[in-house]
Amino acid sequence: MISWINGEFVESWQTNQKFYILLNCQGLGYEIQILESFFLKLKQNHISNKNITLWIKHIKKEDSDLLFGFTSKDQKNFFIEILSIRGVGSQIGMSLLNKFSINEVINAVKTQNKKLICSVPGIGQKMCDRLILELKNKFKVEIQIEEEKRQDEFMIKNPEINNMIDDLQLTLQSLNYKNKEIKHILPILSKEVDLLANKEKNLSFEKILKLAMNYLDQDSSNLAR
């Protein structure tokens, strides 16, 4: 089962209302369906020969293996929650996230805004009622979607730095730093890295990692006082 993937961007394309990216990962080409928002950012930033990290939902079928890629773990988890609802397939899930942000969907569920949810292609009245009923039970606590916004900011500023930040978060997690701590220092780190990128032509991953660890260690020291 593929959880996430980091590979070199080869190309992206659109087929009807589906958006795809092809990543070269150690000589293998992975065709991944992505959200329209990320597809447009790739086009705007003219990315080529750059590494991209995506959170993957791998769906195995009798005649095919489907990969759905997301720029944040929140998006992936929300997509999985949608798929757990009876009668809701992967394309309905992608259509819903193509048209609305996660917070917009959650607010529509809370306010029972059936008109908004039914505006998504493929969602009729019965499916809409089922979505509202089941998602309302799943998301009783407000979900804070900050990671997605931060990653979008990195992508807009500098695609290469954005990819480093994706790798950075995974590296920090492997070093046993908590997700809450990592998310807390990202806005500060973003500004710092942006300034360094303007001063240094070849900003290394090791330097960004060291900077992030310094901030995280400072936060831990402050909490210990």
How is domain 74-138 classified at the CATH fold level? DNA polymerase; domain 1 (1.10.150)
Contact 76/32 with Cβ under 8 angstroms? no
Listing DSSP states for 62-87 in one string gives SS-EEEEEESSHHHHHHHHHHHTSTT
Where exactly are the structural domains of the chain? 4-70, 74-138, 147-224
CB burial readout 188-210, b (16+ within 10 A) else e: ebbeebeeebeeeeebeeeebbe
Query: Using CA atoms, how far apart are residues 115 and 206, in angstroms rounded to an integer?
Result: 49
pLDDT at 171: 84
Tokens of 9: 């961007």
Tell which CATH classification among 3.40.50.1820, 3.30.360.10, 2.40.50.140, 3.40.50.20 matches the domain 4-70. 2.40.50.140
Check if 4-70 and 74-138 are the same fold: no
Does the pLDDT at position 66 exceed 70? Answer: yes
- Report pLDDT for 5: 92
Give the distance, in angstroms, between the CA of residue 42 and the centroid of all CA atoms in the same chain.
Answer: 14
Measured between alpha carbons, how far is 53 from 51 in angstroms, rounded to an integer? 7
What is the helix (H) or strand (E) element at residue 6, kind and residue range?
strand 4-15
pLDDT tens for 139-193 read 654 444 444 454 444 443 566 676 777 778 778 887 888 888 888 888 778 777 7
Structure confidence by residue, pLDDT tens digits, 69-127: 998 888 999 999 999 888 889 999 999 999 988 888 888 888 889 999 999 988 999 99
The pTM (predicted TM-score) of the whole model is 0.61
